[in-house]
Amino acid sequence: MEAANISLLDGALINGNFAYKSTNQAKLTPGAKVSGLVDWQRLDPAPKAEKNTPANAFGSFLLSIASALLIWFLVRIWRPELWAGLSTSIAEQPLKTIGIGVMAFLVTPLLIILLMITIIGLPLGIILGLVYGITLYLSKIIVAVFVGSLLTKRFGWTERHKGVWPVLLGLAVVILLMKIPILGTVVWLLVVFTGLGALISSNYKATA
């Protein structure tokens, strides 16, 4: 027998052993009789699932923005023109950029698998997998920079504080859209396709 709470009431009679699993010890009233042994196996209470409260959702939203903004800032210090170049690649040929991103999104995992099933290609497959995961994360920052750039041009904003405010707004828009049920999945895919395509297009132009 297994239950959270077990009680044997007056008149209850068990001819034999009484074995049970429970988080609490069974309650045996004076009128209940067990002819054999009472074997209690204590169960640990199930951990309480964290409630998805508005406060938790808002905290997760702010954390996502803060982490992405920090990465944007560090990359901007390292390579000041990188984000602008990626944004330009999207603006110049958006459909082509998305198409390239779709191909990269589909082909790269297959390539990783093929590399990892061979001993020689295993290290390269691991490296490629890490790079692929990083680029998936960077995609939302790339698209956020692009969105921020569009808004800046649309409303004629002047760049202040190294352009952090348009990027912050772009991140808020992108991350908020990705958290909407069902629609968020579509937005995430579009963001990933665009970001991957921009990275590949920008690197191709740099080496051409």
Most confident range, picked from 62-66, 79-83, 159-163: 62-66
Q: How confident is the model at residue 207, as a pLDDT?
A: 58
Q: Which amino acid is at 3?
A: A
Q: Tell me what the pLDDT averaged over the chain comes to.
A: 84
- Dihedral of CA atoms 161, 163, 168, 170 in degrees, nearest 10, equals 160
> In the predicted model, is pLDDT for residue 119 greater than 70?
yes
Instruction: Determine the pLDDT at residue 132.
Output: 94
Task: Report the C-alpha gap between 39 and 13 in whole angstroms.
Answer: 16
**Which of 8-17, 70-79, 87-96, 185-194 bottoms out in mean pLDDT, i.e. has the lowest?**
8-17
Go through 67-106 and write b for each residue having 16 or more CB atoms within 10 A of its CB, e for each that does not. Answer: ebbeebeeebeeeeebbeebbbbbeeeeeebbebbbebbe
Residue 2 binned pLDDT confidence (cut-offs 50, 70, 90): low
CA–CA distance, 46 with 133 (Å, rounded to integer): 33
Provide the residue ranges of all domains of the chain, joining segments of one domain with +.
7-42, 54-207
pLDDT at site 130: 95
- Cβ-in-10-Å burial (0-12, 13-18, 19+) of 170 comes to buried
**HSE (side-chain half, CA atoms, 13 Å) at 26:** 22
**pLDDT tens track for 131-172:** 999 999 999 999 999 998 888 888 877 767 677 889 999 999
Phi, psi of 21 (to 5 degrees): -120, 130
Per residue in 10-52, pLDDT tens? Answer: 767 777 777 777 777 777 777 777 777 777 677 776 666 556 6
User: Which pLDDT band, with edges at 50, 70 and 90, does 202 fall under?
Assistant: confident
Per-residue pLDDT at 186 exceeds 90: yes
Predicted pLDDT at 49: 57
Give 33's strand partners: 13
Round to whole Å and give the CA distance between 86 and 101.
Answer: 13
